[in-house]
Amino acid sequence: MRASLLRPAAAMALTLALAAVGLGPAASPAVAATVPAGAGSYSDARPAGTSGPTTNTGAPVTPKLTAAARNKPVPTNDWWSSLAYQRYGDNPYSTPMYGHPLTYQATAGGLEVGYPTTPAIVGDGRQYEYAHRADLTVGLSGLQSPDTKADDWSDWTVTPYWSDGTRTLRTTIGHGMPFVYAKGSGGDARITTAGTPTVFADNGNVLGITVAGHHYALFAPTGSDWSVSGTAITAGLGGKDYFSLAVLPSTDALATYRKYAFSFVTGSTVSWASTGSTVRATYTLTTEAKEGTERGTIQALYRHQWLHTTDALTSWTYVSPRGTMKVRESASFTTNQQSAGVLPALPASAGVDKARLTGYLNEVANASDPFSGAADTYWTGKALGRLAQLVPVADQIGQTAVRDKLLGLMKGRLQEWFTAGGASEFSYDKDWKTLTGYPASYGSDTELNDHHFHYSYYVYAAAVIAQYDQAWAADSAWGTMVKTLVRDTANPSRTDSAFPFLRGFDVYAGHSWASGHQGFAAGNNQESSSESVNLSAGLVLWGAATGDTALRDLGSYLLTTESEAITQYWFDADQQVFPGAFGHDTVGMVWGSGGAYSTWWTANPEEIHGINVLPVTGGSLHLARAKAAVKRNIAEMERENGGPAVEWRDILWEFESLADPAAAEAKWDAGNGGYTPEQGESKAHTYHWIATLDSLGAPDAAVSGDIPTSAVFTKNGVRTYAAHNYGSTARTVTFSDGKTLAVPARSTATGTGAGGGPDPEEPGPSTGNTFRLKSGGTLTTATDGAAGADTVASADGINRDGTPYRPTVYEARNVTGTLSSGAATSFRLRVDAGTVVGLAPQVRVSYDLTGNGSFDRVETFRYFATDPVAGWEEYTQAVGTKAVTGSPGNLAGGTVRLEIWNALGSAASRVQTGTEAAVLTIPYA
């Protein structure tokens, strides 16, 4: 919904070669105010009486760019957009920009730089923030520029520019960059500190200072010398035009950072690939050597990145509003994540009463106004989304007449919007290189807000139509207009002169931003992360339905990446991000400076908790990957609300069903008769969603398929596999646990899977509470079988104490037992580190009491410091627990899991299997 009070709109393309960016054929720019796009069109001038981007006083505004950047599409909705978008007429520089770990603000004299490390809790405890506060300002002696412009940018870096006629200054800054790289002429390098600095190192052209408790290193060209006078620090550049500074994680890092001081970053690029069930992304900085030959650099990785990389990290860290950032000494790193699946609808199940569902479907299809009076881009989109969710549901139960009626309604409304000259249309702004829908809403026109939110519904609805009518989706028909919306919001091309690359998606931050101008003291913001995901899910479905695998894989990368960011930064699933004093388990909005338990329009807890859930679609399944966080989220909403949801009960029931389908079903049964659906929802969809998950179980994030349009559900230890095949021939989908599913052409299939590992339908152990570790990842009570050994992966030189890292996993499912009073988990394992010292094997035992995919009790044991002695060494629970979460309880079709990993060292080890010396005993009868 409304993710930044004033929403900047985005405009569409004056048809550059769409073929060149993989989004269809080009259309020729029209001389008049209409640009053809397949069967559709958009205007190249705003409708009469409407507005484009403005300042806060309503005056028209154009991008603040240097001549060198003037022809590049400017990425509005970024972490630094206030450099280019002068929202406030009296501030021609910028508002605070949050790069992390550093923060920045442009001023007349140069670039303020800060490193906020202490959070403030504000707004009656409803917001935490690491607000920008300048430790120092980077500039040139005498610099007084009338404004700051954007001179250059890349995927997550930007170069601001200052000039006062005598002096010019450029600085390159970015996410994860502890360095600021400066190029200046017409004056000496000048650093002005907020207070008198303490010098801890003085090596001529290298100066180490401490300001406000933060350590910085200043680097001037070789042969120069820094001079300190009060709060002014200067250095002549000796005919050179470069200098740099870095915030240090500690003073002992100076020598390492000095190594990279003159390896100047010149650009940043992300690349991605979706292979099987894995999304792989590589983040690379390009550099040039100003002195010497060093081309490496230092990067700080966000939590959502370092959780998913096996690349070596140093022991240094930084503080940020997103939790700890970890330091890598390299110009690139790679992440690997299990892909987040998308389905056009939840699969058929025995739990759905077809007659009842048909009645609900008819209520929508036969309504006097299925669009509920929607006129602007946002509410029209919501209405389209509401109908789109019901099309595959109607098809699933054989209601083809309802399906086709809904498709007709959607086509008609989309075609109205996709044709210029009517009451609703899209219009391209050549200055801002964006496509805006009129009538606009929530600042989508005047502030370029929320285009990815609004247009997500159009792309998703078009994808549903394409599933049933490929001719409608052809480029010669309406596909070109859909692709133009994609180019505005999620353009995969960096060479498209009509639209910027991935306008609102911040590839390094891992999520999108909503404000087009970023004109807030707290930086940019995003409220409805779920509507951002709706666009990514729409790209997956549209790409799959139209055979555009590149666009499908882009959607998979965006969705999988943002899913982890949402899990960590909106829901704090690991409880490692929000400050302890914040006191909330979720935020409605993420800001550059922190997060807020709020929305733009209400303080009602139901909306605060629900705004990052809606719309509920087949793209929402990723939320089930953190079931404990979902349960905490619902519990907090009910505490804050003084009871269960009333206004948005359907959204929150559907959310809860992702973690606890039975509880959601009970709430639906008790309250479905007397409520009004949320405006993007319907009783038909809510009933189908809740009844299906109650029947099949919650989504199982532990397993994924080798195509993006697949998912797995688990109930009482039984897994149901589902996939939709958009292709014209049958195919077999293989899941990460080895199971396979045959899927006919252009169909959805479900089943319990064939082949692979242990059959999830086979019963668990019949007797006994002692399990042997069996190679292949099984815990079994059987006493037969050969002895063996499994490899335990290296910790790759990083301290992994307490956090499983590439663990070797053993699991028993469908376990039933009564908790034994006074008993405790015990194990006896034999491990061997060979001749290597101290690899520190560590064990975690987890109990999912009901088999719903959410572990209710987790016990992490201290590591065992192995020595290089001959043969196996014994590791037992006697080392004691390091951490315990959750409460024990009876097992009812539950899952027991043992994970073992190396907490230290740089070598692999082994763990014995298949013997009485490789056992886990659980405290159950």
- 288 classed as catalytic: no
Ramachandran assignment for 425, one of left (phi > 0), alpha (psi -120 to 50 degrees), beta (any other):
beta
* Residue in 531, 656, 832, 848 annotated catalytic: 531
The first and second tokens of residue 152, run together, are 């250059």
Biggest CA pair distance of the chain: 85
Residue with tokens 């975690």: 844
Distances in Å between the alpha carbon of 175 and those of 124, 298, 427? 30, 12, 32
Residue with tokens 């240094």: 316
Alpha-carbon gap, residue 640 to 652, rounded angstroms: 14
Vertex 341 angle, CA 339 and 347, to 5°: 160
Q: Which of 115, 106, 97 is nearest to 157 (CA)?
A: 97
Give me the phi and psi of 783, to 5 degrees please.
-105, 0
Distances in Å between the alpha carbon of 730 and those of 23, 473, 547, 707, 734? 26, 22, 15, 13, 13
DSSP character at residue 415: H
Count how many Cα atoms sit within 13 Å of the Cα of residue 536 in the half-sphere of its side chain.
31
Q: How many CB atoms lie within 10 A of CB 464?
A: 27
* Residue in 447, 527, 650, 660 annotated catalytic: 527
Alpha-carbon gap, residue 511 to 106, rounded angstroms: 24
- 450 classed as catalytic: yes
Distances in Å between the alpha carbon of 794 and those of 406, 643, 830, 902? 55, 48, 17, 6
DSSP annotation string for 187-248: S-EEEEESSPPEEEEEETTEEEEEETTEEEEEE--TT---EEETTEEEE--TT--EEEEEEE
The first and second tokens of residue 575, run together, are 């409880």
DSSP character at residue 877: G
Distances in Å between the alpha carbon of 425 and those of 89, 251, 454, 481, 482? 30, 58, 14, 11, 13
Alpha-carbon gap, residue 414 to 463, rounded angstroms: 12
Contact 628, 656 (CB under 8 A): no
Alpha-carbon gap, residue 531 to 552, rounded angstroms: 18
Residue with tokens 């133009």: 484
Q: Is 676 exposed, middle or buried (0-12, 13-18, 19+ CB in 10 A)?
A: exposed
* Residue in 155, 450, 548, 585 annotated catalytic: 450
The first and second tokens of residue 304, run together, are 């959502």
Q: Which of 345, 488, 500 is nearest to 426 (CA)?
A: 488
Alpha-carbon gap, residue 528 to 525, rounded angstroms: 10
- 164 classed as catalytic: no
Q: Which residues contact 775 (CB under 8 A, 6 or more apart)?
A: 788, 789, 790, 913, 914
Residues labelled as active-site residues: 450, 527, 531
